[in-house]
Amino acid sequence: MLDSLYIKNFRLFKELSIKRLGRVNLIVGKNNSGKTGLLEALLLYASNASPDWINTLISERSENWEVETSSRNQRQPDDNSPLRHLFYERHFPQSVDAGIEIGSLNYPNNRIHLHTRYYQIVENEEGARRRIPITKPHPFDLMDVLKALEFQESRESQPILLSYLSPIEAIKPANQPKMAVEWVSSAGCWNDKRVAELWDNITLTDLKEEVVTSLQIIEPKLQDLGLTIGTEQKRFVIARFKASKERIPLDSLGEGMSRLFYLTLALVNSSDGFLLIDEFENGLHYSVQSKVWELIFRVAKMLNVQVFATTHSWDCVMAFQAVSQNHEDATLCRLGRSIRKSDFGSVMAIEYDQEERQIVTQAQSEVRG
Residue type at 345? G
Write out pLDDT tens, residues 149-169. 777 776 566 655 554 444 445
- Asked if CATH classification 3.40.50.300 holds for the domain at 5-48+180-207+256-368, the reply, yes or no, is yes
Lowest pLDDT segment from 235-239, 262-266, 290-294: 235-239
Residue 40 clears pLDDT 70, i.e. is over it = yes
Mean pLDDT value across residues 129-138? 70
Q: What is the largest CA-CA distance in the chain?
A: 80
Would you list the domain boundaries of the chain?
A: 5-48+180-207+256-368, 51-162
Q: Which helix (H) or strand (E) holds 264?
A: helix 255-268
Whole-number Å distance between alpha carbons of 33 and 1: 24
Residue 18 clears pLDDT 90, i.e. is over it = yes
SS3 79: helix
Q: What is the pTM of this model?
A: 0.88
- Cβ-based neighbours of 65, under 8 Å, separated by 6 or more: none
Q: How many percent of the chain have pLDDT more than 90?
A: 52
